[in-house]
Amino acid sequence: MYESVTNRILRYWIPIALLSVFLLFPFYWMTVISVKPNPELFNLKLDPYFVIHPTLEHYRYLLTRTSFLRWTLNTTLVAFASTFLSLFASIPAGYALARLRFPGAGLVGTSIFLTYLVPPTLLFIPLAVIVNRFGLANSYWALILTYPTFLIPFATWLLTAYFRTIPKELEECAVIDGSSRLGAMCRIMLPLAAPGVVSAGIFSFTLSWNEFLYALIFMSSTVMKTVPVGTINELIKGDVTFWGSLMGAGLLGSVPVAVMIFFFADYYVQGLTAGAVKG
């Protein structure tokens, strides 16, 4: 019994503890910097990992002297809208690739996934021309309509793999009972594919929330910027960096994604696992 407990500690608990410390250290570092006053922050003789006199001055500056709350609102609206639009397109696309037999289905699926591998640095120039031509620059639609260009391919691939894990017999029974294919997809497939849909949704929301390049190019005014772009532009001014407020913005900006993953962690892991196995 003693050996089994020792082996369990050595094989599982110690690696898990080390990995947890490694993963949580950036959040601890951001927290320390965000509550450390400037005299301590720039005093190299003090221990950088601890705070002697914590302060909320950096958060006060962030929330009152910048448009952080407006940036958060912009990021939230764009992330939810682009995620909804991506799922609206990727769910039927993934279902069609998984269930419908048509010539070139495999080639179409591979092509859709390969488009996800195209770097955004190659796409932002033609997308900028399209956005300006339609008069969408510096508006929510500029990001809502461009983010799905990299969200839909991966979500489609993930949902295709997950739909394939669901037995066809369930859908065939629904069709025999008089349901249409669309009805079978909505009543049978979607409830069973909930983990895959949630996983694709979290993936899309996370990428939309953290996206930087398109938001930097398509949003010019300060009030329309997103959190990643606004914090960099407003808290790094030439050779002056507001480290405390910058770390506070990074910490607050990571909360929505962390909360979403926390509540849907089981669905997220299940969806990614099924996609990896079948894909």
What value does the mean pLDDT take over residues 72-98?
92
C-beta neighbour count of 265 within 10 angstroms: 11
Residue-wise pLDDT tens digits, 225-274: 999 999 998 898 878 889 999 999 999 988 888 887 777 766 666 655 65
- Contact predicate 234/224, CB 8 Å: no
- Residue 269 carries which side chain, given as an amino acid letter? V
Least Cα distance to 78 among 176, 165, 262, 204 occurs for 204
pLDDT in tens, 177-218: 777 777 878 888 888 888 888 888 988 999 999 999 999 999
Cα–Cα distance measured from residue 116 to residue 150, given in angstroms and rounded to the nearest whole number: 5
- pTM beyond 0.95: the answer is no
pLDDT tens digits for 141-162?
Answer: 999 999 998 899 889 988 888 8
- The pLDDT assigned to 261 comes to 77
Q: How far apart are CA 33 and CA 43, in angstroms?
A: 12
CA diameter of the chain: 77
- Residue 278's pLDDT band (cuts 50, 70, 90): very low
Residue 277 has pLDDT above 50, yes or no: no
Q: What pLDDT sits at residue 83?
A: 95
In angstroms, rounded to a whole number, what is the distance separating the alpha carbons of residues 146 and 208?
Answer: 10
Answer whether 67's CB lies under 8 Å from 227's CB.
no
For the chain, residues classed under CATH 1.10.3720.10 are: 56-278
Interval 18-49: pLDDT, tens? 998 998 899 999 999 999 999 988 888 888 88
- Nearest by Cα to 88 from 200, 238, 179: 200
Kindly tell me if the per-residue pLDDT of 6 is higher than 80: no
Contact between residue 97 and residue 156 where contact means Cβ atoms under 8 Å apart:
yes
Q: pLDDT band for position 72 (50/70/90)?
A: very high
Alpha-carbon distance of 279 to 110, in angstroms, equals 11
Sorted by sequence, the CB contacts under 8 Å of residue 242 that are 6+ apart come out as 58, 61, 235, 236
Would you say 260 and 198 are in contact if contact means Cβ atoms under 8 Å apart?
no
Judge whether 162 and 195 are in contact, CB under 8 Å. yes
Assign a CATH topology to domain 56-278: MetI-like fold (1.10.3720)
Q: What's the pLDDT tens digit per position in 168-186? A: 888 778 778 777 777 878 8
Q: Give the model's pLDDT for residue 57.
A: 93
Per residue in 93-142, pLDDT (tens digit) is 888 888 877 777 777 777 877 777 788 888 888 898 999 999 998 999 99
Predicted pLDDT at 25: 92
What pLDDT does 268 receive?
62
